[in-house]
Structure 1
Amino acid sequence: MDRTDGSRYRRIVDDLRARIEQGELAPGDRVPSTREITRQWGVAMATATKALTELRRTGLVRAVPGVGTVVAAPETPAAAAAPPASPPPTAVKVAAGPAAAEPRGGRDAALTAERIVAAATAVADTEGLAALSMRRVAAELGVATMSLYRHVTDKDDLLLRMMDAVLARWTFPDERPDGWREPLVLAARMLWEAFRRHPWLAPALSMTRPQVLGSALPFTEWVLGALDGRGLDPWTAFTTHLTLFNYVRGIAVNVEAESTAMADSGLDADEWMATQEPALLALTAGGRFPLLEQHIAGGYDFDLDRLFEFGLHRLLDGIAVLIDGPHTGPAAA
């Protein structure tokens, strides 16, 4: 961290401390996340993380899994006024060494894999996968980083557990809708909703080297069940399942990228496009791209959810040709 970020780090800490002490941020209120701090103060993620860590160290804020970092309740007068305990008369002084790890009877005793996964998911949901680290999760939980390794092997293991946990929330109905199309629509929308709720999930899932996730298997089984008995050979049926999955994932990878871009620029997609419109109009003004110019002039309402739905049904129209055969109605003009 250079001197500029060092001074900004101190200014961030002082500003947030003042807002807390003046009551602008009350106990229980969320404080700005690291992503918000990077946007508001124009600092690197490491600087924002250090600022929040300093506030946690002083007891002004605390991490709440699933919520974020919030203002801590003030100490009770008795606790605040209590003088430090004097050492017993027979205490033997020893040379100072590295700080001992908190005994397992402390916060670490209540640590579980589920709590670690929940805290990690909260970080990734609000700040993106790039902000996730074992040290960051430990800070959110208020425990030593090494204590996490008693419950998860490493960051890769943690990410697998996160993916498994969020996909485990899928609940397919006991009875499958009639036909093949509606079951595929239902599966695709459930997957889209999971990607929307957890923007990091789509980039984390690999298409070419799929992770072994037990909670993802119901999706595959549901889709294959909808296609079973429809006259498709095994390769075509499984490829249809992969095509549907990767269509939804391919649209969803834009969700995290857009969230990051909005945090970095402070502009949503429409506001950003407004800044680009003059340059785009200048490129199309010469008449070389009359159709594009016409659509720009008419305005285009870009919406990822509408794009998803439009593409989903066009994809299913193509699958219908495989299952039901070519359209036998009047030929298109």
Structure 2
Amino acid sequence: MAAENLPPYLRIASEIRRRIEDGELVAGDRVPSTRRIAEEWHVALATATKALNALRQDGLVEARPRAGTVVAPSRRTGGTARGSRAAPPSDQELTRARIVRTAIEIADAEGLAALSMRGVAARLGTAAMSPYRYVNGKDELVLLMADSVLGEIAYPAEPPTCRRTRLETGARALWALHRVHPWLAQLAPLTRPLALPNLMAYSEWMLAALDGLGLDGTTMLDINVLLYSHVQGLAVHLEREAHAASVSGLSQEQWLEAQEDGFGAIAASGRYPTFARLLESFGADGYDLDLDGLFESGLQALLDGLVVVPHPH
């Protein structure tokens, strides 16, 4: 079949395959994300997902959490030669759990905005409407995904006797989970809490640390929400950074380098002396914005401000 007569997703896959075969993209290089493909080829996200899925089935690319889709180290996957498609699973092999796992893989690699029911179906190799037999739609799917990954938090069998240590343990576990699944921070505003069993398990862990201190219910919940929002407020930038890198094609370091002249001009204007003095104090290395460090220092500042949970002695 002539290239111009191929379905759009196969034309896209063919072009990316050419880039790999010509050495423009080598093992470990990121290939265009679904969003970039949609913008570059003017197609729907579902079509972009089908194109990447075709390349995965050929063993040319693989999805890596927080890295997106990259060129695979080998052109053979599980003994399947390039160009020889693995047989897609039949609809009878679908389960809700399998759909949720696949959706998590897409969100981990591409972000929540790239997730669609059609995209999940394309990744699974099933008819577009097949997942709807198990999940009502994207909104329900996202809730199932969230509850599933929140269930990954492993709490110590014996809770720390120190209340502050217990709060630190819970907050750090939640931060680590957002590190693995950055899309979690995009779920819902604090004003619209979600009735998810595994989210309640996290809250139960945190609230138990505050129980027995003589606090009223509002104060206990406020403290829990405050600590949760500290994690969520920082974690939201994890996926935003991944999205910015995908859209711009620039790493964080490359983007900052491109801003040096602009910040230098601001500092030299004389209108912001404190900022200019700070900028100069960092020297050639500049300021390193470390989200992990910010999380930890912010957590300690919050707990220090809560006199009801002092440092252990």
Q: Is the 8 A contact 1:195 1:201 kept in 2?
A: yes
CA distance in 2 between counterparts of 1:290 and 1:23 reads 49
Q: Note the C-alpha offset of 1:263.
A: 1.4
Q: In the alignment, what sits opposite 1:118?
A: 101
| Contact 2:147 2:196 (C-alpha < 8 Å) held by counterparts | yes
Deviates more, 1:154-163 or 1:258-267: 258-267
Instruction: Confirm or deny: 8 A CA contact 2:107 2:115 kept in the other structure.
Output: yes
Superimposed CA distance per residue, residues 94-153 of structure 1 (whole angstroms, 9 cap, x where no aligned partner): xxxxxxxxxxxx611110001100111111111111111110000000001211111111
Which of 24, 35, 38 in structure 1 is aligned with 2:36? 38
Task: Tell me the TM-score normalised to structure 1 length.
Answer: 0.74
Partner residue, 1:308:
295
Matched, 1:233 2:220: no
1:61/1:271 CA distance change after superposition, 3 Å: same
* CA offsets 1:8-61 (integer angstroms, 9 cap, x no match): 9787433334467789999xx89965517828x971673675366357669963
Which amino acid counterpart does residue 43 of structure 1 have in structure 2?
E
> What is the correspondence of 1:164-243 to structure 2 with a 5 Å cutoff?
164-243=147-226
Contact conserved, 1:65 with 1:141, CA < 8 A, in 2? Answer: no
CA distance in 2, matches of 1:163, 1:118: 11
SS of the residue corresponding to residue 145 of structure 1 reads: coil
Shift of 1:258: 0.7
CA contact (8 A) 2:9 2:50 kept: no
**Counterpart of 2:193 in structure 1: which amino acid?**
P
How many angstroms apart in 2 are the aligned matches of 1:45 and 1:303?
36
Structure 1 residues 281 and 75: CA distance shift in structure 2, 3 A: closer
Question: How has the CA–CA distance of structure 1 residues 34 and 137 changed in structure 2, closer, same or farther, with 3 Å as cutoff?
Answer: farther
Distance 2:213 2:56 in 1: 62
Change in 2 beyond 3 A, CA 1:162/1:37: closer
Contact 1:230/1:323 (8 A) holds in 2: no
What amino acid is aligned across from residue 36 of structure 2 in structure 1? Answer: T
Give yes or no for contact 1:38–1:264 (8 Å, CA) kept in 2.
yes
Does the CA-based 8 Å contact 1:119-1:140 persist in structure 2? Answer: yes
Does the 8 Å CA contact 2:163/2:309 hold for their aligned counterparts?
no
How far apart in 2 are the matches of 1:281 and 1:206?
Answer: 36
Q: Is the 8 A contact 2:50 2:122 kept in 1?
A: yes
Contact 1:9 1:47 in 2 (8 A): no
Judge conservation of contact 1:65–1:115 (CA < 8 Å) in 2. Answer: no
Of stretches 52-61 and 139-148 in structure 1, the one that deviates more from structure 2 is 52-61
The equivalences for 1:2-41 within 5 A come to: 12-18=12-18, 34-35=32-33, 38=36
Which digits, 9 at most, give the CA deviation of each residue in 1:207-251, with x for residues without a partner?
111111011111111111111122322211111111111111111
Alignment of 1:1-333 (within 5 A): 12-18=12-18, 34-35=32-33, 38=36, 43=40, 46=43, 50=47, 53=50, 61=58, 73-74=80-81, 107-297=90-280, 298=282, 299-319=286-306, 321-323=307-309
Q: Scaled by the length of structure 2, what TM-score is found?
A: 0.79
* 120-129 vs 16-25, greater mean Cα deviation: 16-25
- AA aligned opposite 1:171: A
* Alignment check: 8 A CA contact 1:134 1:145 kept: yes
3-state SS of 2:182 partner: coil
In the alignment of these two chains, the number of paired residues is 289
> Larger deviation: 195-204 or 231-240?
231-240
**Percentage identity across paired residues of the two chains:** 40
Q: Where do 5+ consecutive residues of structure 1 fail to align?
A: 1-5, 80-105, 326-333
Q: Aligned letter for 2:276?
A: E
Cα separation, partners in 2 of 1:60 and 1:322, compared to 1, 3 Å: closer
Mapped partners of 1:281, 1:191: distance in 2: 37
**Greater C-alpha radius of gyration:** 1
Measured after TM superposition, the shift of residue 308 of structure 1 is 0.8
- Check whether the contact 1:202–1:249 (CA below 8 A) recurs between aligned residues: yes
8 Å CA contact 1:284, 1:293 repeated in 2 = yes
Residues 167 and 194 in structure 1, CA contact (< 8 A), matched pair in contact too: yes
Q: d(CA) in 2 for partners of 1:45 and 1:181?
A: 52
Structure 2 residue runs of 5 or longer lacking an equivalent are: 1-5
